[in-house]
Structure 1
């Protein structure tokens, strides 16, 4: 069964990026073992990103200059980018631009994912839209031992404890990986 999963790294106090939209805080840490990420990615059929996340990945990985790296990062998985602007696409990448509400796009995402999962890469606003629409099944947060004074929030909406059930807590290097199942609104 295809699941919609928001999987991201966060600071202790709930920020995805700092005030300059930088992830320098994240890359100052030793990453978790790569096999954990690879095991997760093996179950993913589609990636979903907001335009800020997509543009950050393009710039950080220099994907327009080195498009061959796209395949190493994502394989042949389609990436859906929610945006209202025209954005560049690395040569050979399967990037599909969509706009508006997440609800009308979910069937396209499920069709593209097949029997695999849909990974909401980021950001928090987009993940919040999936959550508010009742389309998010799981939230997986790799919490880093870092606190920031401000920046992009993990989820910019109120989520009460009755919406999330803690499934697991796991140490991966310096990260505490928290996995929550999202309880549907129609309980």
Structure 2
């Protein structure tokens, strides 16, 4: 069964990036060897489709020479953005429910990964489409920025691990 999963790193005070989209707080940390689904090399093969917002997509283009995803990637945007050569990127302004259905089909039984940002995750949650939140919490605060989750979301803690400087947490989304 296809799950919709949000996996990202966050600061201790709950931000995934600074106000100007910087991840310097993350890139300077010692991650160690992340265990299980916290490890990118274990997590990514479970993913059949990717969702991200425009700011996340632009960050990836600016900081990565290649394209790390073989999976089709939906970028939710109202802007014209460049496409990285060789990337299966699909820009969309369509409603979340419609795009999620396309993603489930494309995922072929694998999971959907919402890379970021927090507001996009909230939109999936608003439609009861978010199943899991996986986060690696860094021992740093930045005071303001882009929130991990931009909505009230009830979660059930399922796993706790440790890697390098990070506390790794996996939650299921609570269903009424």
What is the TM-score when the length of structure 1 is the normalising length? Answer: 0.88
Cα deviation for residue 149 of structure 1 reads: 1.6
- State the partner residue of 2:134: 140
Segments of 4+ moved more than 6 angstroms: none
Structure 2 alignment gaps of length 5 or more: none
Cα distance in 2 for partners of 1:164, 1:134 equals 13
| 1:52 partnered with 2:55 | yes
Cα deviation for residue 183 of structure 1 reads: 2.0
Structure 1 alignment gaps of length 5 or more: 63-68
- State the partner residue of 1:182: 173
Cα distance in 1 for partners of 2:34, 2:152 equals 32
Cα deviation for residue 34 of structure 1 reads: 6.3
SS of the residue 1:171 aligns to:
strand
Matches within 5 A, 1:22-33: 22-33=22-33
Of 78, 82, 90, 1:88 maps to 82
Cα distance in 1 for partners of 2:173, 2:126 equals 11
- State the partner residue of 1:65: none
Q: Which moved more, 1:119-128 or 1:85-94?
A: 85-94
What is the TM-score when the length of structure 2 is the normalising length? Answer: 0.93
Cα deviation 1:129-168 (Å, max 9, x = unaligned): 1111100000011100110121111111223xxx311101
Q: Is the 8 A contact 2:34 2:163 kept in 1?
A: no
Q: 1:164 to 1:34 in 2, by over 3 A?
A: closer
- State the partner residue of 1:166: 157
| 1:39 partnered with 2:42 | yes
Cα distance in 2 for partners of 1:37, 1:28 equals 18
Cα deviation for residue 84 of structure 1 reads: 0.9
Of 127, 147, 154, 1:153 maps to 147
Cα deviation 1:98-118 (Å, max 9, x = unaligned): 114311211101011111100
- State the partner residue of 1:78: 72
Count of residue correspondences: 173
Q: Is the 8 A contact 2:34 2:162 kept in 1?
A: no
